Amino acid sequence: MPVGTPALATPQIGATAASVTTASFTPTANALLIAFCAGRGSSATIPTISDSLGGTWTALGTGNDAGNVTGRLFYQVASASPSATTVTVTTGGTQTAVGVIELIDAGTDFSNYQAGTNAAGDPSITMSAYSSGSRVMAFGIGNAGAAWTSPTGFTELFDSEVATNLRMVPSYNDSSASTSLSWVSAATDSIGFGLEIKEAAAGAISGTASITQAGDAVAGTSALRIASAASLSEEGDTLTASGSVVSGIAGVLSVTEASDTVDATATIALRALLAATHGADSVSASAKVNVAAAASLLQSADTIAATGTIASASRTGSAAITEAGDTLASAAALSLDASASVTEEGDTLSTIAGPSIKGTASIAEAGDTVTGRAVPLLVSSPQERTASVPAENRTAAVAAEIRTVAVKAEVRTAAARAETRRAAA
């Protein structure tokens, strides 16, 4: 989604003082905040910033000093439930000013950033090529003088002498803007910043996603990507997206309370452990579920389901369905590179295409089923394998042929629609 139009989060403010503080304001939820800071005077240093909530502001670049004016940009991303705050900027100069600008649907990739100074006139900078959907911003700081002329095609947010002999002018354009930015002013020394603000990466989370209270939800209309652990730890928690869910998980996805849900209309892909540990937990996707380690359904009625592929060939671990009524189901193929354990009464391993298992399929309780409507091979590998029913009377049915059916206790039925090579007990 293209970056939104920049707007002032609170009116720009300046003072004939070494520091200045904005009025209280409440940012828009999840907005990107850009603090445009400036100072003037021979004693002015590169601006610093703080806020009344103790928030973290990240500097863009090291700041610039054009002789009699200084400037720097900072950014912060507002929370989903932002609180009222004030922002304080300090320069130590005789004049200090700040303008806080907010944008929605904005990311934090600021790799296309340039700064230029001119101690005797107007600044100019050259930007790299812009990405589609980006917002381009230009920030000018001048020592006194009348109104500026911003770069061609740019719309000014304000153009004012915010403090004695200190002028600031932020402006914006879209990704069609020229990469050569220059200002025209009457300033004797000046600073110009150019910043491309790119679209937000879809649902990116670089650490841990913890959903720790009943009924919590994490949702995205595109993708949700988590680089560490995701924990749904209270009943009724939800992690959902209309694109892909947790496609970058490198840790553990824990669905640890009854009725928790992880859901996607496209792909759920995990690089490590998936644990659904309470009754009626659900992990589902309309396309495929990929797990690179173990998938564990540990409580009654837990579900991993997909209309495409579950635990496809990239999988290297095991599927453990260890409580009554658990389900591992796919409307297409179900392919495991290791073992599938269905160890409680009423558990189901089901696919409309064919369950392909390169290790062992273990069905250990009455009423458990492994079914396939296309190529129902319990085990598929270069070597012969065994479908094992270790407890009591069971039925092992194969639509094509049976190589070996072994039952540790008693054989009631060993059936094949095409051919039976051997039935042994």
Instruction: Determine contact, residues 101/32, Cβ cutoff 8 Å.
Output: no
Beta bridge partners of 10: 100
Residue type, 333: A
Among 421, 371, 360, which Cα is nearest to 396's? 371
From residue 50, give the alpha-carbon distance in Å to each of 20, 63, 195: 11, 16, 22
Task: Decide which of 97 and 336 is more confident.
Answer: 97
In tens, the pLDDT along 51-68 reads: 999 999 999 999 999 989
Is the pLDDT assigned to residue 17 strictly greater than 90? yes
Instruction: Determine contact, residues 313/291, Cβ cutoff 8 Å.
Output: no
Strand order through the sheet with 7-15:
7-15, 95-103, 32-40, 69-77, 58-65
DSSP letters for 82-147: ---B-EEEE-SSSEEEEEEEEESSB-----SEEEEEETTS--EEEPPPPPTT-EEEEEEEEES-S-
In tens, the pLDDT along 208-221 reads: 566 776 677 776 65
Question: What's 154's DSSP letter?
Answer: P
pLDDT attached to residue 296: 73
Residues ≥6 apart with Cβ < 8 Å to 181: 114, 124, 125, 126, 127, 138, 151, 192, 194
- The token pair that represents 351 in the structure block: 């696919």
From residue 35, give the alpha-carbon distance in Å to each of 67, 216, 296: 21, 32, 47
Full-model pTM: 0.53
Is the pLDDT assigned to residue 92 strictly greater than 50? yes
pLDDT attached to residue 401: 44
Residues ≥6 apart with Cβ < 8 Å to 382: none
Is the pLDDT assigned to residue 260 strictly greater than 90? no
pLDDT attached to residue 138: 98
What is the C-alpha to C-alpha distance for residues 399 and 417, in angstroms, rounded to an integer?
A: 5
